Amino acid sequence: MSVIEKDGFQFFEGNKFREEAIILIEKYLDDAIIYLNKNNYKYISIRNNGFYKKYTDEIFPTSKLIKIKSDVLDLDIDYEYTVIDDNIPFETLEDLRLADCTIEKLDLGNFPNLRKIGYEWNRKIINLELCTKLTELYLTKYKSKDKNLHEIGKHLNLKFLSFVHGNLATLEGIENFPKLETLELSYQRNLKSIKDLGKIKDSLIGLNIEGARNIKDYESVAKLKNLKYLSFDKCGEIESLDFINDMPNLEAITFYKTNIKDGNMLPLLKLKRCWYDSKRHYSHRYEKMEKMLEEK
């Protein structure tokens, strides 16, 4: 995001999807709060004093956030020395991102309108299941006691779900997200089975898996009759691409740095697009396959 300066304050530039966000740093926090209240800014980003200048380790005074009178919709915190202890006073929040901060306690039940949230898994963040309007969830380092998805709870409106790192072994519990359209799984090194995807076969449109080398049942994606986009990048060896023949709505696939054992690339001719790195035993190099698809 581009940074702009206006009236002595810094902002992340807005676009057609969101308004510009005022950047709050400890150095001029009191003046910034007065300014954002006067101008009714609803998008806020908390950064350290050294985001653009020399790094500092001053604690961000989150207690002062209560002085903000605007109906804040979007809050982005990316500052190591911000301590969250159930002191975010914005009941109107719809979008919350917690990157580099300290969590003592955070009750997500305080944000009934939350639609999007991203954070590193932390058991001090509670009541995620109470966010009944949630449509997008981004989790890093998710670690479940049972190594599945049940601990997240039911989210009947969830459409996008992303995991980066963690201890998932199966996708058991994914049926708790009956409207899920896109699932991203990155660097899930313990993941062995994805067969539970069949429980949401009617809703899933996009599936992106990267860096999961221990999956044993890649072919189970054939159950996903409505899937349009599929990615198996940097994954373990896949026996063949024959599963594509059972996926009538699949339009595109990528398997970069993933070996297809039998080397038969002909199933790709059913698709509109594909991306892969060529290997000696493949029946068609990528450049040849790309040209064949263009000429269809």
Averaged pLDDT of the chain: 94
Mean pLDDT of 181-200: 98
Q: What average pLDDT score do residues 206-220 get?
A: 97
**Separation of alpha carbons 171 and 195, rounded Å:** 8
**Residue 57 binned pLDDT confidence (cut-offs 50, 70, 90):** low
The candidate with the shortest Cα–Cα distance to 36, out of 55, 8, 78, is 8
User: How many Å apart are CA 107 and CA 122, to the nearest integer?
Assistant: 12
| Cβ–Cβ under 8 Å, residues 89 and 111 | no
| Mean pLDDT of all residues in 275-286 | 98
SS3 at position 169: coil
Residue 118 has pLDDT above 70, yes or no: yes
Q: How much is the average pLDDT of 227-253?
A: 98
Specify the pTM: 0.94
